[in-house]
Structure 1
Amino acid sequence: MYETTFPNKRYKHTITFLKEVVSTDEKILDLGVRNPFVEYMEREGYTVQNTSGEDLDTDTSAVLQTDAEVITAFEIFEHLLAPFNVLRDIKATKIVASVPLRLWFSPAYRSKTDPWDRHYHEFEDWQFDWLFEKAGWEIIRREKFTNPVNKIGIRPLLRKITPRYYLIYAERKS
């Protein structure tokens, strides 16, 4: 059903993980504006609403006012200056989130054309875990995976064997 080319290999991996931890009966609030992955979630039977592009560093009203049981945040926290704030304010009891991992052989991502498309954080797995734990979440499941590119060179070779993405499922601590 899904192709194995970028970004679809990543999408396939993420949707498989999501299906294992979240029921299609649960409403989802996806952090960030509507995107192609939301369409994948909806094709799999999920009901998804998105935030509307507000700056989640300073405006957490979307996560405070939602009736969604689950928050998803796929490759969003690395763009925030203070992801702790939105994590702390989430009223939903479940979250599924992913981030690109910091790679020793590659600099932090920064778009050459879009001034807002940049990574303020590129996490190591323990840093992402600590962020969630400090914000009141318990990580139930975690997974790392690669997303190789079909190019020639040292970095493409390293991307075939080095995990690039980190995916977690967490529940709010009581």
Structure 2
Amino acid sequence: MYEGTFPHKRYQKTLEFLRNHTPAPSNVLDLGVRNPFVEFMEKEGYTVANTTGEDLDLDTTAVINEGFDMVTAFEIFEHLIAPFNVLRDIKANKLVASIPLKLWFSPAYRSKTDPWDRHYHEFEDWQFDWLLEKAGWKIMAREKWTHPVKKIGFRPLLRLFTPRYYMVYAERITD
């Protein structure tokens, strides 16, 4: 449907993952401000609302809203100091989240120009799994993929083979 129209490999991977595990229609709260990927979700048939840029470490009001079937969080949790609080407070029963994985050959991302654009966490897959479990989620599906870059060097070579992104579909554990 969108073959060749994705600006990023992760957009294609993310949309395929959503189709396979949480097909539309669905009423979605996407953590983070509106972004270009939301348009792909809406074309697919999802109804998407976004958070408004509030500091989710301090204010989890947006995720407490019970009017959503699913919460999505694409490369959000690594920016939070305390992602457990948001994960615990989500009222929706489904979660699709992706994170960049910690790479042993590359330091955590930190913008030189934007003090808010930094990674407080770059998880290993087992750490993110444990965080989700501790916050009351059961992982139903997971996927990893690489992110090659068009550069020459040792680290770009390692990026051809080392997974960079990790995505999960989880459901709320109910007692």
Deviation at 1:21, TM superposition (A): 1.2
Q: Match for residue 22 of structure 2?
A: 22
**Aligned letter for 1:26?**
S
* Segments of 4+ moved more than 3 angstroms: 2-5
Q: Secondary structure at the match of 1:128?
A: helix
Alpha-carbon distance in 2 for matches of 1:149, 1:106:
13
Instruction: For residues 149-170 of structure 1, give each alpha carbon's deviation from its aligned partner in whole angstroms, at most 9, with x where no partner exists.
Output: 1111111110010000000000
**2:9 aligned with 1:41:** no
Residue 3 of structure 1 and its aligned partner are, at CA, apart by 3.5
Q: TM-score of the superposition, structure 1-length normalised?
A: 0.96
Matches within 5 A, 1:98-109: 98-109=98-109
Answer whether contact 1:31 1:50 (CA < 8 A) is retained.
yes
- Tell me the distance in 2 between the aligned counterparts of 1:14 and 1:150: 21
Equivalent residue of 1:28, what SS? Answer: strand
Structure 2 residue runs of 5 or longer lacking an equivalent are none
Distance (Å, rounded) in 2 between the aligned partners of 1:138 and 1:9: 27
Q: Corresponding residue for 2:96?
A: 96
Check the 8 A contact 1:146/1:161 in 2, yes or no.
Answer: yes
Report 1:1-174 matches (<5 A).
1-3=2-4, 8-174=8-174
Identity %: 70
Aligned partners of 1:32 and 1:76 also within 8 Å: yes
Does structure 2 retain, via aligned residues, the 8 Å contact 1:2–1:9?
A: no
TM (normalized to structure 2)?
Answer: 0.95
